[in-house]
Structure 1
Amino acid sequence: MGSPETKQTKIWLAYSGLLLAVFFWAVNTVIAKAVVLEIRPMALSFYRWLIAFMIILPFAVSHLKKDGALIRQHLGFLFVLALPSVAGYNSILYFGAQYTTAVNISLVVAAMPVMTLLFSWIINKEKPLFLQSMGIFISIIGMLLIITKGSRQLLLNLSFNPGDLLIVFAIASWAFYSVLLKKRQIHISPISFLTVLIAFGTLCILPLYVWEFVVYKGFELNRVNISIFLYLGIFPSILSYIFWNYGVRTIGASVASVFMYLLPVFTAGIANVFLQESLFFHHFSGGLLILLGLLLSSRRRT
């Protein structure tokens, strides 16, 4: 058994890694909004994952050879998993960023665990507890409060910001992926799994990027844009994944999930400084309802 000092060091490393993972994702959200007028969504998504694939592949080759038989056995399912995760989630999020604020994106994304619980109920027939059901309901109210800006008139007229609705669709895409992953687990190494999903996801994005390029043309490949793509390919795509999984293995999924509550906090701070985005009452009240819903939905039987 490890010494108490070693265990304590691992715990602090896990906490630090989780903080960095969420921070990198927050910056990803702000970047999506900041570059929306210069770099189209599919270009942002395609080059992000292409760079991530090029970086991770040399480290994954030996693992891919070892897991080759299992990968071939589950090739179809791995392709299905890549659609709502690598190909779907961020591409839809980048489209949504054209029409809404980075703060709105982060607040709605914070409700992802509740959306996953709802999908588990629908697909896997995992009936939630009473408190979990209340959590789902309260979080949905919080999301509605944010996307309607607290206006009853907008709700009654079903006049929603298309960007906010796209973000809801994006988190539904990721929740669907999470439920599928739990329904049928594939016992290959994490790096093999991530590499295959990135490869399939990037291939799925490619035809959409080509169409986007033909219709809207490209973007200027300057030093700033290259830096943005390198950041997206390394930090939120690879390092966040590594740090998050280390945190989950070290302190458990339930404790790690609490760190996602910091996503709106980090995003709001960064967006306020770099994008001059303001916070309003519906942001605070909707965010608090989502937080309450998350706390209730994370309860388990003892």
Structure 2
Amino acid sequence: MIPFRSKLTASFYALLSISFWGVSFVSAKAVLEKLDPYSILVFRFGLGALFLLGILLLHRARISISIGYIPHLIVLGILGIFVHQVLQATALLTITASSAGWLISFSPIFTVILSILFLHEKMNVKKAIGMLVAITGVFIVTTTRSGHSFELSMNIGFILMILSTLNWAVYSILLKKLRIPYPALVVTFYMSLTGFVLTLPFIIRNRGWESLSLLSQTEWAHLLFLAIFVSGMGYWYWGKALEVLDASKVSVFLYLEPLVTLIAAIFLLHEKFILISAIGGIIIIIGVIIVNGGLVHMLLRFFRKKSP
């Protein structure tokens, strides 16, 4: 039986990860005016790996790992960082960010299916209803953001984003199933390092470093946010959440990503607030609460015990 506080903490970590990733669309859009998508990936994971290494050194944590687990970390780095980010970067060249955000929300569906097949997690009526409610909210939020229909023509970008969501589901399942006996921080560091090494040829090909001098202070802030919070802490906290909760329960937080992106766009890009979007966001939250109903019930019971 997993303690209540551990479940609550893991849910908080997953929520933070989704918050960082939701804002990442806004930051990436700001930096894309000066840097090509692949150069951004190199800087993101290079700086992200340095950030994680700094935390490890500050905590005097052991960085050495057993040779037997190196293949596991390489596979996770290839799937979770290299393949996932390259697919998304390439897809964003032909589809809009709002369309990408909508498609990412399908990842929990793939995760649930794979969790049932490979992790022997159970699907029940409550979880299915919660997923349907959350998907409904995603439809409302994302179609409102785009201002018209889904803009999802059957082009290469659409196909690549679908593959990206499936790839992320596979990554989450593997991260849970492999049970690498090292802290999530250590695992994330080696994954980021792997992603940096694999994406390095892109910046050499595109001579991306030449564009760094063109970045303004605001654009540098966006790039550092992408590196430290999105690539570093986001992956780290996602791994910490998977250490405690089922992969299917963690993945359902991905339904909140379009909502976070919407809020960030309103405050950072000054996009217009639309009431129906807020309604869709509330529906998404209700769906997440239904799927994680056991956690919510334990939370209510906890506060009842604390009350006089």
| Same-fold status (TM-score > 0.5) | yes
CA distance in 1, matches of 2:109, 2:286: 11
Per the alignment, residue 4 of structure 1 pairs with: none
Whether the 8 Å contact between 1:147 and 1:164 is mirrored in structure 2 is no
In the TM superposition, residue 161 of structure 1 has moved relative to its aligned partner by 5.0
Whether the 8 Å contact between 2:44 and 2:223 is mirrored in structure 1 is yes
Alignment partner of 2:32 out of 18, 32, 36: 36
Alignment partner of 1:223 out of 174, 196, 216: 216
TM-score, normalised to structure 2, is 0.68
In the TM superposition, residue 240 of structure 1 has moved relative to its aligned partner by 3.0
Whether the 8 Å contact between 2:28 and 2:226 is mirrored in structure 1 is no
CA distance in 2, matches of 1:245, 1:173: 16
CA distance in 2, matches of 1:115, 1:148: 22
Equivalent position amino acid for 1:80 in 2: V
Equivalent position amino acid for 1:27 in 2: V
Q: What do the CA deviations read for 1:73-132 (whole angstroms, capped 9, x no partner)?
A: 121222111111021222322332333333333332233222212233455676745676
TM-score, normalised to structure 1, is 0.69
Q: What do the CA deviations read for 1:174-204 (whole angstroms, capped 9, x no partner)?
A: 1111122233221112222111111112111
Taking structure 1 as reference, are residues 15 and 223 closer, same or farther at Cα in structure 2, changes over 3 Å only? same
Taking structure 1 as reference, are residues 17 and 117 closer, same or farther at Cα in structure 2, changes over 3 Å only? closer
User: Counterparts of 1:1-302 in structure 2 under 5 Å?
Assistant: 19-60=15-56, 62-65=61-64, 67=65, 69=66, 72-121=67-116, 128-129=123-124, 159-160=153-154, 162-211=156-205, 213=206, 218-221=210-213, 222-224=215-217, 225-244=219-238, 253=245, 259-275=253-269
Whether the 8 Å contact between 2:102 and 2:139 is mirrored in structure 1 is no
CA distance in 2, matches of 1:191, 1:57: 9
Whether the 8 Å contact between 2:256 and 2:284 is mirrored in structure 1 is no
Q: What do the CA deviations read for 1:237-274 (whole angstroms, capped 9, x no partner)?
A: 2233455566677xx63676665443221211222454
CA distance in 2, matches of 1:279, 1:104: 18
CA distance in 2, matches of 1:286, 1:160: 25
Taking structure 1 as reference, are residues 39 and 200 closer, same or farther at Cα in structure 2, changes over 3 Å only? same
CA distance in 1, matches of 2:172, 2:191: 13
CA distance in 2, matches of 1:289, 1:11: 23
In the TM superposition, residue 43 of structure 1 has moved relative to its aligned partner by 0.7
CA distance in 2, matches of 1:288, 1:13: 22
Equivalent position amino acid for 2:245 in 1: A
Whether the 8 Å contact between 1:46 and 1:205 is mirrored in structure 2 is yes
CA distance in 2, matches of 1:258, 1:290: 10
After superposition, the CA RMSD in angstroms is 4.6
In the TM superposition, residue 284 of structure 1 has moved relative to its aligned partner by 9.2
Percentage identity across paired residues of the two chains: 24
CA distance in 2, matches of 1:19, 1:192: 21
CA distance in 2, matches of 1:110, 1:60: 32
Unaligned regions of 5+ residues in structure 1, if any? 1-6
Q: Helix, strand or coil: the match of 1:160?
A: coil
CA distance in 2, matches of 1:172, 1:280: 31
CA distance in 2, matches of 1:138, 1:12: 22
